[in-house]
Structure 1
Amino acid sequence: MHLLSILPFLGLALATPLHPPPPPPPPSHPHPHAPKTNIKCPIIFDGRITKNLTLQSFDTATGGTPYNPDYVKGENRTWSSILLFPKTTPPSRFDNALLHKPVEVTIDDGSLFRAGENLQTGFRRAGLLFKDDFNDAGADASDNGVVTFHWSIRQDEHRPLNLSHEYMNVWHEKGDYSGNQFMFVGGVVLVGDGGTGVDTKKEREMWKVQNAKNEFVYETRIVRGDWQNFGVQLDYVRDTIKVYYSTGDEPLKAVTRATPNSNAGGGQLQIGIAKKPTETETVVYDGYQEHIPLRGEGQIYGGIFVEDSSNGCVSL
């Protein structure tokens, strides 16, 4: 600044009576309602539902959601007729109440997916796929390095699951559809899927994480009236799987060590419900499915995202 330009300010300062300087302003603190996040790592796919989205947003590719509007759902169905936005459900650990809202996936008697010419009458199925999660092996960042898949779930007491059946709720299916790198399942798991197929109270009350061989690597009781938070980490370099878990707003904790797993084959993550039949031979095309009440069966989701953990980072 030129000397002449500062002289008036100097004169003003000299003419001002001497007083003790005012106390410094208090240290600034974040606004109590400022958006916060418990996500600390680079996000590969962000599946959290922002407040501005409507149910109809899921029906088109230009609706602004991160999900594919076409898969995987019953034929002649729209996502706006399948999904719900629970109105009284608090935000999950990795959602922010100002920015995000939970979403509920529902199924009913008409949740029949057609694969080519074949209608999968054994399943009742609806599952969200990321539109940028490509099926080709290694085609996107979620199939390389070290990746942690996150989701939170909450039970809808008005649309309960019939856990005498096996439910696949989250899974990463291989690119050639020959299997899955991991599955998150509930209820009575069929014998061919790694379970006993025996309907007991304990079997109906457990969530289970399975590896590529359908072996249970972690089990925990189904909680009512609170969120349950899961993280499944796949290390594509070392071919391992590791599970993280917490309830409510508690930080995730590692509940398994990294154990060997076959992570090859690329593929896609699916979030939703695939209800398997009982008394079945093929699972996909036959078996018993009882009538689902008109209100449907539902699973509430929040905090869905996939993060890059290659540098050892895990959002807890």
Structure 2
Amino acid sequence: MFAWSLGLLCSIGLSQAVYVRRQAATITWDGRVPENATLGDFDSNSFVFRPDSPKGQNLSLSQLVVFPGGNPSLFDQKVAAKSIEVTISDKSIFAPGGSNPQSAIRRAELQPNVAQTANNITTTGIKTIHFSIKPDPQRALNLSHEYLMTFLERADFTGDQIMLKTGTLIGRNDTSPNDLVLLGNSGNGSTTLFTTPFTADAFTNFAIKMDFTANTVQVFSSTGSEALTQQTEPLPNDLSGNGDLHFGLFKNPTDPGEDSLRSGFQESEINEGVVYAGIFVEDSGDGAISLS
């Protein structure tokens, strides 16, 4: 079983990065997957992701994750990490607590291992969430649906503080199905914080700076191997409620009813996926943000 120590991660490559301020940022949780990791590692309680992350009943993460190969992403190169693909199928029906399945949803997600994020260290102070994402043409998404792909969910499960979506967003007509759309607090009238094309030929890289005291969100992004650049000023957004990060696919139905988790249309023979890389969270309390 492979486990990176925080000190080792900080010394291998993060010290070589470029920051908003010329000093090293502290990694509070690192979800980058080492090159020698196996699919079986995703089922271990000591890996960087929780093996009980949301997924279909009687499925293990090792059945849902793929190593797609290809060139390493911007923040994987220096630490010898590799990209991962999260997939969904007809079996991707989550049943919280083993009952009352979310029959209208297809979902498979990765969550930080609680043992490695004690005391809400990813959702307090000022943290910057890093990840790179790209679609897989061989497991194309059905963009007539709405997909949540990265989101921070409140600890009481009453909503999300931020949500990265693509596809046909439910209840909105101001976005393109081919875009990545970062939204603020869930609910009616969620504010659009940032929008960028979701292209297949290169990773889209994100750094989302979240100030959990001032309740603001600031976005940095780039494509491919380009350094991230600032896309927004700090934008007001309620970040209260702590909670957990999710990385993967949460596919909503079309024509959802009042209970969108259990009513609406999902086609059969689903074989879809999205590729992630360079996932980590750093402490930006002193202003440091990794840009390249």
**TM, length-normalised to structure 2:** 0.87
Change (3 A) 1:168 1:133: farther
Match of 1:41 among 25, 30, 38: 25
Query: Which of residues 148, 153, 177 in structure 2 aligns to 1:173?
Result: 153
Equivalent position of 1:307 in the other structure: 282
**1:164-203 map, 5 Å:** 164-191=144-171, 195-196=172-173, 203=176
* Correspondences of 1:205-284 after superposition (within 5 Å): 205-213=178-186, 214-281=190-257, 282-284=259-261
Residue 286 of structure 1 corresponds to: 263
Alignment partner of 1:56 is 2:76 = no
- Name which of 81, 86, 103 aligns with 1:100: 81
CA 247–128 in structure 1, closer or farther in 2 if over 3 Å, else same: same
Q: 1:292 to 1:231 in 2, by over 3 A?
A: farther
- Do the aligned partners of 1:133 and 1:269 also contact (CA within 8 Å) in 2? no
Q: Secondary structure at the match of 2:40?
A: helix
Q: What's the offset of the Cα at 1:220?
A: 0.8
Tell me: CA distance 1:144–1:36, structure 2 relative to 1, closer, same or farther (3 Å).
closer
SS of the residue corresponding to residue 157 of structure 2 reads coil
Give the Cα separation in 2 of the matches to 1:287 and 1:260.
Answer: 33
Q: 1:208 to 1:161 in 2, by over 3 A?
A: same
Q: Provide the rounded CA distance (Å) in 2 between the counterparts of 1:82 and 1:157.
A: 17
Return closer, same or farther for 1:265/1:133 CA change in 2, 3 Å cut-off: farther
Query: Does the Cα contact within 8 Å between 1:122 and 1:285 map onto a contact in 2?
Result: yes
Q: State the match for 2:65 in structure 1.
A: 83
Aligned residue type for 2:61: W
Instruction: Give the Å deviation of 1:132.
Output: 2.3
Indicate the SS of the match to 1:120.
coil
Runs of 4 or more above 3 Å deviation: 35-40
Say whether residues 1:142 and 2:122 are aligned partners: yes
Aligned residue identity for 2:272: E
8 A contact 2:48–2:116 mirrored in 1: no
Checking the alignment, whether the CA contact within 8 Å between 1:83 and 1:106 is kept in structure 2 is: yes
Q: Equivalences for 1:112-123 in 2 at 5 Å?
A: 112-116=93-97, 117-123=99-105
3-state SS of the aligned residue for 1:139?
Answer: helix
SS at 1:150 equivalent: strand
Aligned equivalents of 1:313, 1:145: Cα separation in 2? 13
- The 2-side partners of 1:267 and 1:142 are apart by 9
For residues 206-250 of structure 1, the C-alpha deviation after alignment (integer angstroms, 9 at most, x for no partner) is 110001152111111111211100111110121111111100111
Report if the CA contact (8 A) 2:219-2:233 is conserved: yes
Q: Is the 8 A contact 2:13 2:79 kept in 1?
A: no
AA partner of residue 265 (structure 1):
G
Partner deviation per Cα, 1:65-114 (whole Å, 9 max, x = no partner): 20111111111001111000012x21110002771110000000110000
Identity percentage of aligned residues: 35
**By how many angstroms is 1:185 displaced?**
0.5
Alignment CA distance shift 1:310-1:98 (3 Å): closer
Q: Secondary structure at the match of 2:139?
A: coil
Structure 2 CA distance for aligned equivalents of residues 160 and 101 of structure 1: 21
Question: Residue 80 of structure 1 aligns to a residue in which SS?
Answer: helix
Look up the equivalent residue of 1:185 and give its one-letter code. Answer: K
Report which of the two structures shows the higher radius of gyration computed on alpha carbons: 1
**Aligned positions, number:** 268
Maintained 8 Å contact 1:133/1:140: no
Report SS of the residue matched to 2:86: strand
**CA shift at 1:181, angstroms?**
1.1
1:264, CA displacement in angstroms?
0.7
Q: Which residue number corresponds to residue 91 of structure 2? A: 110
- Structure 1-normalised TM-score? 0.81
C-alpha offsets along residues 277-312 of structure 1, whole Å, 9 cap, x if unaligned? 00111210110011234xx10000000001100001
Does residue 160 of structure 1 match 2:149? no
State the alpha-carbon separation in 2 of the partners of residues 100 and 219 from structure 1.
Answer: 27
* Shift in alpha-carbon separation, 1:98–1:174, aligned structure 2, 3 A: closer
